[in-house]
Amino acid sequence: MPELPEVEVVRAGLEPAVTGARVEAITVFDQRSLRRHDGPSEDFVDQLTGRTIVSAERRGKFLWLPLAGHGLDAGPQALVVHLGMSGQVLLRDRATDDNLTRIRIELEHVDHGPLRLNFVDQRIFGSMAIDSLAPTVDHPEQLVPSAVAHIARDPLDERFDDRLFYERLSRRNSGIKRALLDQTLISGIGNIYADESLWAARIHYEQSAASLSRAKARLLLAEVRLVLAKALGEGGTSFDAQYVNVNGASGYFSHSLNAYGQQGNPCPRCGTLIVRESFMNRGSHFCPKCQRLR
């Protein structure tokens, strides 16, 4: 599943191309990619055609494109994009098609001319939807889709509240990795970056979140930010052709992984073999010497 760096790479790639672009036409090839839209494909097409994209926004793993135009009574709206397991948003010229395109959006930009936005999804777990925008609780001037309202800010958000995070973490009796994966506590972190951050901070994934000292919690948050920033700088983590940016290029953070997927390899820090254990229908990767359960 794409995590914060992968989604941010897509958002950053989209923003200069789609901001100010007008939606000329939409073709829905597979209605399953509209499962989160409140209405049939005809409604999706009618609501989106003729609208202007204002920007490209993200919170955690969630991506949306605020819309202007139409003067709808519904208030401010956005095109919300869920990448799911294998979703891709590819910027193309009008002559380029992609295999497994589920939704095609034709754009006209004052500077870039005609563009094509292809939503490609092999497994069809992702989707697009028109959703209403509402003010956030902590900053009413900031609008987010209703589907994203319950999602916490991510650690790269300039408005992320470190102190509130530490306080909420201190009341969690669950394992620390389970807490990091809770998108209502801190968003954008999935299995890969949780394992990498915990390895960097030398914390066992089953260590009780409430048992962490404030100093250890600060260290962990700092490592989370470092890991996410490095992954973002390297275009995210791509293990196969499903994780790509808007131009179809893969990220290369997989070459920098210290724990995730490294079971059987020596720990880069101490040489002990990295171990993988079953965790929440997936796996946790850690060094049994550096990350002892205390």
Gyration radius (Cα) of the chain, Å = 20
Nearest alpha carbon to residue 79 among 133, 135, 156, 141: 133
Catalytic pick among 214, 282, 292, 294: 282
Question: Is 177 an active-site residue?
Answer: no
Question: Is 282 an active-site residue?
Answer: yes
Separation between Cα atoms, residue 89 and residue 127, nearest integer Å: 11
Catalytic pick among 59, 61, 102, 104: 61
Separation between Cα atoms, residue 185 and residue 168, nearest integer Å: 8
- Counting DSSP H helices and E strands in the chain, the numbers are 6, 12
Q: What interhelical angle do 191-201 and 214-233 show, nearest 10?
A: 130
Catalytic pick among 3, 6, 8, 223: 3
Catalytic pick among 2, 5, 66, 145: 2
Question: Is 2 an active-site residue?
Answer: yes
Separation between Cα atoms, residue 21 and residue 143, nearest integer Å: 20
Nearest alpha carbon to residue 237 among 218, 222, 258: 258
Active site residues: 2-3, 61, 282
